[in-house]
Amino acid sequence: MAFGAVGVASAAVPTGSSQLRNAVTVGGILQHERALQAIADDNDDTRASGTPGYDASADYVARKLNAAGYNVRRQEFDYDLFIENSDPVLDPTDPDLAPYTPGDTADDDFSTMSYSGSGDVTAELQAVGGIIIPSPGGSASGCTADDFAGFEVGNIALIQRGTCTFREKVDNAVEAGAVGVVIFNEGNVVPDDDRVGNLFGTLDPPQVDIPVVGTSFEVGQELYNLVQEGPVTLRLAVDATVDERTTENVIANSKMGRPDRVAFSGAHLDSVLEGPGINDNGSGSATLLEIAEEMSELGIQPRNKVRFAFWGAEESGLIGSDYYVSQLSKSQLKNIAAYLNYDMVGSPNYVRFVYDGDGSEFGTVGPNGSDIVENVFNDYFASQNLPTEPTEFDGRSDYDAFTAAGIPAGGLFTGAEGIKTEAEARVYGGLAGVAYDPCYHQACDSFTPVADGADAATYRALREEYDLEGNLNRKALREMSDAAAHATITFAQTTSAVNGTNQDSSTSSSAAKYHGSLLQR
């Protein structure tokens, strides 16, 4: 059957979304999630782009979409896969202190930044201008050549996170003659973002020539204080390579609907190398696949063309979505009415985050029409008496290429490595002081998190309140998939323009970059 017209300006939930919402079930989503887990189980516990696990994931999604009657295209592209061959080393040798602990959790001391160079250097550590301790935010350390005034060639640079991209800081350090870089977390509190714990960052390809690591604020503050007291010699070692790989996006289009008004939804399909990615981003991919299948099963005839994308190489720097948008003509860009992004919608310690399209909370305004996208989600949740929190357009996921091209965008997010606050715990339940996803970018982002390394006490406490299915929260999946289904049908059936008249000239005001769920600033 065909749904009637659905306007995008009304705060009430149109009855036309209820049938699709009822058809989209957590059971259906989990069926796809279990298939993705089985694929990871058969492929070295990963579904990262450029691996057989990703290829099998793309095969699975394409097969399901073809069976549901969509026009499916598999878009191949080449990219550089960053591979860390062994654990990095960060060891103060003079004064002789215990080496810092590398790892992939927020509680570890430091981690290698993606696209760091390889090298094993022992040199004096030198603090770069602009460091603020304690930090209120906005540190510009290392962002200009002036910050390196007096920097000694052959030293290791100590730089604080903030303001500009990590790549800019590192490029400035290389220009100043640094043989290595340590970038430490900023230390201020930011909603749904951890600026205190271990700093996971990416420099983006090409690979730089010197070793670069990110550390917690605590480690950076300790090193900074040591430098103020006297010379500090540090050993910094990274063993990493870059391998050129071929991977793909899977794109599905409805056979019906206006081609000049495309309702576009996307989620990245790849995991990190470290694990199967059942929440990040099996949850977004499985949710979109369930919505696509149920729209077909219900015989929905969309007024506007509906497009679903399953992106590759997101975890390597949003490469798949960037490539897709770069291949569109101006007319093809204008035909996209709005882009809706779903990257992690089943976090075990979740919050209902909606992207701040109008910039009212964070000052980062999306392209013209992004406020309407935000309102569609917020109005839906309000109709269900479900509070939401805003999250910033910070460039951290695949909407980034669309907002940069002036396309209205928005989406949903249930939290990653950020720490749930006391205020959020009072509203949403769960554990304050614990990450929204304690298994973010780890092997335990799976159907057996405790067996795969998650803290048993944390998951026991979460299960006392939530109905967890492995590293997934059933309650979060139900609420977010209902909202995603509602937004999908809303934009599929609207007769109104989303963006007004100046989409092509509108751009996001964000200067931030967070690629592949790894911080770039």
Segment 15-71, tens digit of pLDDT: 479 999 999 999 999 999 999 999 999 999 999 999 999 999 999 999 999 999 999
3-state secondary structure of 26: helix
Q: Residues with catalytic annotation?
A: 314
Segment 135-157, tens digit of pLDDT: 888 899 999 999 999 999 999 99
CATH 3.50.30.30, the chain: domain bounds? 86-238
CATH 3.40.630.10, the chain: domain bounds? 15-81+244-343+379-385+422-519
**What dotted CATH number matches 15-81+244-343+379-385+422-519?**
3.40.630.10
pLDDT of 126:
97
Helix %, strand %, coil % for the chain, to 5? Answer: 30, 25, 45
Q: Cα 43 to chain center, whole Å? A: 23
pTM: 0.85
Confidence of residue 191 (pLDDT cuts 50, 70, 90): low
Helices (H), 318-398: 319-326, 330-334, 370-383
Confidence of residue 10 (pLDDT cuts 50, 70, 90): very low
CATH topology of domain 86-238: Glucose Oxidase; domain 1 (3.50.30)
Average pLDDT score over the chain: 91
286-310 burial code (b ≥16 CB/10 A, e <16): bbbbbbbbbbbebebebbbbbbbbb
pLDDT of 107:
85
Q: Are 292 and 65 in contact (CB under 8 A)?
A: yes
Segment 354-403, tens digit of pLDDT: 999 999 998 889 999 999 999 999 999 999 999 999 999 988 899 999 99
The arithmetic mean of pLDDT across residues 330-348, rounded, is 97
d(CA 210, CA 363): 35
Q: Which of 88-102, 282-296, 450-464, 486-500 has the lowest mean pLDDT?
A: 486-500
d(CA 322, CA 169): 23
Residue 440, pLDDT > 70, answer yes
The arithmetic mean of pLDDT across residues 490-509, rounded, is 62
Segment 207-240, tens digit of pLDDT: 999 999 999 999 999 999 999 999 999 999 999 9
